[in-house]
Structure 1
Amino acid sequence: MHQITGGIAIALVAATLGGCVTKGDSGNQDSDVQSFPVLKLEQTDTVLHRHYVADIQAVRNVEVRARINGFLNKIHVDEGQQVKKGQLLFSLNEEEHRAELARAKAALSSAIAEAKAASLEVDRVKVLVTKKVISATELEVAQAKLAAYNAKIDEARSAETNAATQLSYASIRAPFDGFIDRIPLKAGSFVSEGNLLTTVSDIHNVYAYFNVSETEYLEFMRNGRDARRKVALELADGSHYVHEGHVETVESEFEENTGSIAFRARFPNPQQVLKHGASGKVTLTNRIDSCLLLPQKAVFEMQDKNYVYVVDTGNTVKMRSFEPGARVSHSYLVQGGLKPGERVVFEGVRNLREGMKIDPKLVPADQLKGL
């Protein structure tokens, strides 16, 4: 009796264990089909922001140099001062040049007097020749002397003009409205012709020069300059410059070493915040219509190529290489290899393998905004 009861108990335990194994096997089969978020590729319009390091320069930045030798008598301005066109900046010793001008004026007066006397002589000789008192040859000689004295007047007048010009160089004035840069010399210093006195910068507007790759240049031209000419500027401290600029011109040739071409943008500078030689970062904005955007987290690399997992109609994943373009935030602009309407695994690609069947969960479009 006890043996029968024990046999029944063993049979029941075996049946129970058998039932557990069956359920466990069923659970493993279900777990093989895992859920993954997927997105459906759709054409959309987006704004592409490209950033470039910019070199900021004044619209006009001119070196002021001495044009004559002399001692620096007086400095009329200070470094950083705003000046007006024609304002006196420096005075050089002008005594020597004043004396030279006086000599030139005296020489001119003398030449004029000599020419006047020669002119009177010509008139006198003409009368004598008419009366046949003297020969016509005497008249020719008198006229030649008059021509020589007239030439002497021209020479003396040129010397006077040159002396006056040299004297004017002793007073150095601002070439235009602007700001004074560093003044390396001090009053009393001897200045040689060509010595740098200071630099004047017109920074009411500034230029921002930045280099663009050939591909981005072609993109710029292809999409129309007018639609993309506005640019923003980020300053060296990371702050955004309040005034918007625009692209004015593009250089005529690419740099051989870098393959890039220089753009020039102009920015207004009413508060004179921007200075000549400053640096910043220019943002060029471009609207792109009917493009495919692919989040970076859906992409993986193998042997220098970019891949995604595409989900077919049977929910099986297959690796697909594609050609990425520019980055838009945390997404790639698809250049080729993928088509609108295709489904791509959005997240968890490291857990996938070729030919794996999944349970796709479509990611809502609003969750992709900002990616």
Structure 2
Amino acid sequence: MKYYPGINVLLISTVLAGCTAKSEDKQQVETQALPVIQLTNQNTTLDHDYASTLEAVQNVEIRARVAGYLDKILVDEGQAVRKGQLLFQLNAAEYQVEVAKAQASLESATAQAKSADVELGRVKLLVDKNVISPSELKLAKAKLDAAHAAIDEAKAARANAQLRVSLATIKAPFDGVINRLPFKRGSLIEEGALLTTVSDIREMYAYFNVSEKEYLAFIKKRRDPNKPNTREVDLLLADDSHYPHEGKIETTETIFEGNSGTIAFRARFPNPDRLLRHGATGKIRLTTDVADALLVPQKAVFEVQDKNFVYVVDANNKVKTRSFIPKSRVDQFYIVQSGLRPGERVVYEGIQNIKDGMTIVPKPLPADSLRALYASVQ
């Protein structure tokens, strides 16, 4: 085997150059400049979101109270209507025939009553002359009473027939919006058939469930004489956009649901633009004030096996991982429950490029940036 001194020298030079480059790169990484934030206590608010269903303050089913063919549909789906406005017209011909029959029966009963009255006068005259026995007078009076009863029955039958004619005309019970129309003109409608629903959506109810702990906190706050009895809440729509009008919690149910341990709250929202509709969904947001909360930016936090960590910068500018327990999250911050203290410095950005024990050049965030950062949670 031959020995080549030149090649060995070249290999040694290459290895030394590579080591020198790695050392320089390592030194460059260890001394990189990174933004650092000093933890402070801040006043903030906590937002709690609850799934909610929206219902109109009035939502009434419009059903046919008599059977018949649907002659007219005078409204369309989504149309606003006024109280008393005509919605549907059923064919009332057969009910008008019943009215005519009832009227004829009434006239017949009236005629029979007149006849019975005349007969009573004749019998009374004969009884007074002792031509017939007094029992005939009692019989004549009974016949007159029966005729009067027949008149009352005929009047009731006529009123019922007239009512059925009026029920063939269906009007709006209040101001609202027409919903789906399942039948078309000419359809045979059975008694009790659902023609549509009318919703009064000038105001809306939002129902949402809260835990027993949150319920007790709300009740205690509501009974505090120094605080208002109503609590304003926000509504997030299905697309997570913010509904522009605030609502107020009005009442709660009286029974907790056994499976979930929650109770339903009801909030009322104005709906001047008719944006909210019956049956829609959203999220109710309750806001709670928190004083002197220790905030950590979410950008400074990383997770390992479901635990939260930050890089804390010590007095020698060395970084060390520190786990902490968050109490909750608000916007882009965590509220610290334990593990961190006010005044400590944590790496704000670039945590993916460092590791435990590295030395960095801390770049404290400017005061204006800090104020802007914390202003987002005020």
Using the size of structure 1 for normalisation, the TM-score is 0.71
Contact 2:203 2:269 in 1 (8 A): yes
Counterpart in the other structure of 1:241: 243
Counterpart in the other structure of 2:268: 266
5 Å-filtered alignment, 1:57-206, equals 57-206=55-204
Residue 230 (structure 1) shift: 1.0
After the TM superposition, which of the residue ranges 102-111 and 74-83 deviates more from structure 2?
A: 74-83
Structure 2 Cα separation of the partners of residues 177 and 212 of structure 1: 33
Residue 328 (structure 1) shift: 4.0
- 1:264-311 Cα distance to aligned partner (Å, 9 max, x none): 111111221112222222212x44465655648799999999999xxx
- 1:319-346 Cα distance to aligned partner (Å, 9 max, x none): 9998x75544456668x989xx988886
- State the AA in 2 paired with 1:237: D
Structure 2 Cα separation of the partners of residues 178 and 263 of structure 1: 25
- State the AA in 2 paired with 1:167: V
Q: What's the secondary structure of 1:159's corresponding residue?
A: helix
Contact 1:213 1:261 in 2 (8 A): yes
Tell me: CA distance 1:38–1:296, structure 2 relative to 1, closer, same or farther (3 Å): closer
- State the AA in 1 paired with 2:251: T
Tell me: CA distance 1:259–1:307, structure 2 relative to 1, closer, same or farther (3 Å): farther
Tell me: CA distance 1:46–1:221, structure 2 relative to 1, closer, same or farther (3 Å): farther
Structure 2: tracts of 5 or more residues without a match: 1-35, 311-321, 349-354, 357-364
Tell me: CA distance 1:240–1:256, structure 2 relative to 1, closer, same or farther (3 Å): same
Structure 1 Cα separation of the partners of residues 372 and 184 of structure 2: 67
Structure 1 Cα separation of the partners of residues 277 and 305 of structure 2: 47
Structure 2 Cα separation of the partners of residues 163 and 128 of structure 1: 42
5 Å-filtered alignment, 1:289-308, equals 292-293=293-294, 295=296
Residue 131 (structure 1) shift: 4.1
Q: Is 1:283 matched with 2:281?
A: no
- 1:143-167 Cα distance to aligned partner (Å, 9 max, x none): 2222222222221111111111111
Structure 2 Cα separation of the partners of residues 223 and 330 of structure 1: 28
Residue 49 (structure 1) shift: 2.2
Residue 132 (structure 1) shift: 3.7
Using the size of structure 2 for normalisation, the TM-score is 0.69
Contact 2:252 2:266 in 1 (8 A): yes
Tell me: CA distance 1:342–1:82, structure 2 relative to 1, closer, same or farther (3 Å): closer
- 1:126-180 Cα distance to aligned partner (Å, 9 max, x none): 3443444433322222222222222222211111111111111211111111111
Structure 2 Cα separation of the partners of residues 76 and 278 of structure 1: 27
Q: What's the secondary structure of 2:123's corresponding residue?
A: helix
Structure 2 Cα separation of the partners of residues 327 and 270 of structure 1: 34
Residue 122 (structure 1) shift: 2.8
Contact 1:320 1:337 in 2 (8 A): no
Q: What's the secondary structure of 2:83's corresponding residue?
A: coil
Structure 2 Cα separation of the partners of residues 140 and 39 of structure 1: 111
Structure 1 Cα separation of the partners of residues 189 and 161 of structure 2: 19
Q: What's the secondary structure of 2:278's corresponding residue?
A: coil
Q: How many residues align?
A: 334
Residue 120 (structure 1) shift: 3.1
Structure 1: tracts of 5 or more residues without a match: 1-36, 309-318, 353-362
Q: Is 1:255 matched with 2:257?
A: yes
Structure 2 Cα separation of the partners of residues 295 and 93 of structure 1: 72
Tell me: CA distance 1:223–1:154, structure 2 relative to 1, closer, same or farther (3 Å): same
- State the AA in 2 paired with 1:152: A
